[in-house]
Structure 1
Amino acid sequence: MRRMTKWIYLPLLLIFLWKGEAKAAHIIGGDVTYQCISVNDVQKRTRFRVTFTMYRDSKGGGANFDVDAEFGLYKSTGDGKWVYVRSFNASPRDIKPVDNDNPCIIVPPNIGVERATYEFEVDIDWGTEVYQIAYQRCCRNGTINNIINPGEAGAVFSVEIFADAISTCNNSPVFNRFPPTVICNGEPLRFDHSATDAEGDQLVYEFCAPLTSGGTDGESGIGDPRSCTGVRPASIRCLPPYDEVMFQLPTFSANNPIGGNPQISLNPNTGLITGVPMINGQYVVGVCVKEFRDGKLIGTIRRDFQFNVTVCQIAVSAALDTDASKLKDGYVEISQDGKLFNFKSCGSKLIPFLNKSTEIRNILGYEWHINDGTKVDTFNTANLDYTFNRFGRFSGQMILNPDLADCTDTAQIVIDIFPAVDANFNFGYDTCVAGPIIFSDLSVSGAGPVTGWEWAFEPDTISRVQNPVFEYKTPGIKPVALTAFDGNGCKDTKIIDLPYLPVPALVVIEPTKFTACVPADIYFSNLSYPIDETYTLEWDFGDGQFSDQISPSHRYEETGIFDVSLKITSPIGCTTEANYPNWVEVLESPLANFVYSPEKLTNFEKTAVFTNLSENQISVLWNFDGSGISFDLNPTYTFPDTGMYLVSLIAFHENGCTDTATANIDVMPLVTLVMPNAFTPNNDGLNDDFRGYGFIDAIADYKMTIWNRWGELIFETDNPLMGWNGSKNNSGQESPVGVYVYQVEYLAPRGDVKKLTGHVTLVR
């Protein structure tokens, strides 16, 4: 069984509060009972002590208990009507907090409940009438979900005293407990709402509609607060019968105040409320207790209270594990199905139970019951180390808070004790020559034959046969793991380090070339296995050069036919070698070379003459950076434009070998800007403006300025095609005849900054 808890927030409480004649907002429930004090047989009158028990929120900022609460006494007329008899006033007594003794209810610091009683005595004459004592107050919490207009509905707490109860000096039943404020959505509700009767009369319980009286008149000074629709109805003016609250039909009713699946119900004989609430919310509930004596109804008491349904957190939850550090032999596995915990022990009769239950702060005690097949042992520790005396299946349970019926949880336990499995194996192989390894299983089980095997030779390499054969592709110290299983599902694992350091059974070498041209760069790929960096390798390339790499690269600098050999030695001294006579032939290569002229090419001279200086060639191929090719020995080539060109010459030997020579040739772009030393701006069409002349297509960032003898800027332009016409800024006053200073700056095609400074004479 699981009990739940939830932080209780302020909006969940039924609160009444009044200030002056303001609306009440602090009461969360109450009931009225009576006790017979004395009987006057002469006057035929009985005196009763009436007790009104009220519960209020003590930390919600609401009003205290009414200092002068008003109770009305009424008498029935027999036709369903009532007459006013008198009023009583009483002040609260025995005000004290209601302590929470259930760890499954976690109350936050802003929530508190106080309990108080009002008592007064009343004399009632004998007769046939029924008397009623009632207290009226407005209003209910506006957040209640199961009634209509809860914020405008008041509450009535009342008790009925029948004629037989008066004449026989009867005592009313008294409720044993006040209901919990919060109940949990989706969790079984089980609350004992029973009462105790001093005379032992028969009590019958039923849900009944809470009563309502009063309203909002008088709140904030508007209306009459003492009217029957006021916040404090006057008992002399507001008589029974009182209206019942209006439920939100059809979802809720007096007999179905909070819904649920199954719907909550009240046992009429025991007062036990059960069910599973399923809808979050705040609900007003009424419970009536009818008192019968010899089959005749002699009185009724009524309680009005509030249930708040919310999603709860788990307060205590039983959970178990095992403490493997306490095991000397074998192992214990645990599996869980809900609250059933199955412990499977292989090779250990000791079970170290480790308690993992939560929440620790809510757990006040533990109780273990272990059935070893002959007796049941009981313990009250949090953890338990229990040693069984034989193999077999056993049962038990661990109970949290065994003395708290409303805050407990139980873990059911099944224990299987099995004999151990002992995994073991051996192996055989040639330690010096690579090849397969034969593995032999030697595992045994105390429960019978071993039924399963799982061999792990390398990552992701698994075998499930009993006696496998496996060959490694790489050398090293190989950890081999065997896990053996028996029919009970018990297992054991054995790990043995296998030194696998043989030499390859076959040396396999694959060079990138068998015939090459000098200088010959050849990569020798060693495909032999198993080898790694712990092995010693001795390469002889036949030209006096050696290597100790696994797969080396070698350059042959001379022509000829060469033998190649390789010797391999394992870390444990095993050796193998391979010889490859006349394996590599290195041929003579031509020697490519060339020159060209002129050495400096420009946009004015883009043609070059190439001279082949190669040796041992029978033909050549020229490539002019993709702009052209030639098979001539000494070609002449004109480049299409300025720029950098990679020119290559491939020389071909008669044996097919080649050699390549390259050169980067720069065809430079030149600028030929020339500035004149005089000009005549007389509009005769000859030398009318001053500007530069020459090949200027490739210049950039051009700027020319003209200054007079006094340092005044006369003209400037960034257009190399625009000249100075002799007037200021080419549009103002004509400048006088004389000598002027010019400055020219521009960016050459290769990014060089060029500057020209000089004098020019203006002649008219």
Structure 2
Amino acid sequence: HAYSSGGYYAVTLTTINDKGCVDVAIQNVYVYPEPQINFSTEEPCVNNFIDFDNLTTLDSGSVVSWAWDMAGLYSDTTEDISYYFDSVGFYDVTLTAVSSFGCINTYTQTIYIKPLPISEAGPDTIICSGDAVTLGTSVLAGHSYDWTPTTGLNNPLVSAPTVTLTNDTNFIISTTYEVTTTFNGCTSTDNVAIGVFPVINASIPIQVEQCFPDNKFFFDAKGVYGPNATFQWDFGDGMGVSTADTVSYSYSDTGAFTVSLTIRDNGCVSTATTVALVYDVPIATFGFDSEVGCNPFTVEFNAWSSSNNVADSQLTYIWSFGDGDSAFTQTTSHTYDPEGTYFPSLTILLGICKGYEEMTKYDTVTVLPTPTAGMIVDPIIGSIYNPIVTITDISEGADDCYLIITPGDTMVICDYQHNYFDPTLPYNQTVSHDITQIVTNSYGCSDTITVTVDILPEYIFFAPNTFTPNADGMNDFFFGRGYGILEFEMYIYDRWGDMVFKTNNMREGWDGHVNGGKKKAQQDVYVYIVNIIDIYEQEHKVIGHVSLIE
């Protein structure tokens, strides 16, 4: 009997003789299990190593040997193996296992080795900076694509992406792209190298404007290009062209000409333009507000050019004022000193337009003599006790002279003495007065000078020596008086040294009472002490006597 699975089984034997007697014998039999063989694989793709994972189980004992048979192409005795098939098709893979009890089992699995998808990245190529090129090939149904790196790609997940690359260096750069194609679980890869020529960046140096007819421009092709580059110049006048990299050209007329340069190298093209300006020779012209004036004489100058096709802002202006000074703006002013005749000139430059006589213009400016105002004021600083100021005329070159004294009248003489005492003005602050002298000559030229005189305050204090506090309305109070006082304190003492009165208000006087005004003071001689700080913050102490007479 063959058991289909391992385990313990009770075997019973029953014997019956011819007499009908029965005997039963029972024996237990243990059947060892055989290995339960199984294995799994990855996606079986041609030319790809396939990992065969052994999934065999055994309920009792252990597997002591393995035997792999890869469709008769290869055998191995390890538990797990990796193997690849180099052809598409069906293959029988067999695994045999032997247990430690000598039990043997074999399992065969038929696998299909699938073909790899075709990956096509395209041919290697070199493009111009900023150009686009299509990679890969047309899409196949069911296939997926993944491109790396993604630099410049419009879509890295399609079969034929477009790549756009730039190159700002001075040499060719190259990027290798790899496409991974997946179909039915199998993948393949392919690479393509895309080179990029440096960007040519054609340019033409800026041209300085020139004048007709003596103009000659030098054009130099600038950019990044190789020895096989070609050049095409168009000078914008409908006549001039050139194929050299460096060229000189002269224009036969005035105007603004657009110069274009096209550089071709390795199939790449770059174009640049600039403007060549050819002007008529500018003719200098200028005007000013007055040709004759008094010293110092300030003249406003304004320049322009008679060339109609030249903007004033494009010109360089060079002024020479005839006295050694110069300026370089279109509009300017200049002060002439001393009197005399001057010959100012203007020269206009435009680009290389130099050396033409008509570009410089001369004119005449006459500066007339001007009298010089002058006076001596003595003293320049007076006071309320010395307010008289003497004015002495020291002007030169004047035919007429008069003074304006403020406050006061206009004087037609220039030697004068003025008294600045004014009882209406404050005595505790400085009062300033302006004295102005105006002189003129026979040319109508004039000069003015103003001197400021300061009348300073002064300090003074005085007090009477007698008062009569008898309520007759006359001399009833004892006051101190003064000017130029900032702080004031007054103390009055009797003959025994007792203080009978105190105040820090100069307007408050003693009325002849003592003991807080309760009692009249007796007729006697009293001593006062006054402490003062004047307007110059100087301290003063005044001690005196006052007689109280009833």
**Shared fold (TM-score greater than 0.5)?**
no
Which structure would you say has the larger Rg? 2
Report TM bin, short chain: 0.3 to 0.5
Q: Could you state the TM-score of these two structures normalised by the residue count of structure 1?
A: 0.33
TM-score under structure 2 length normalisation: 0.44
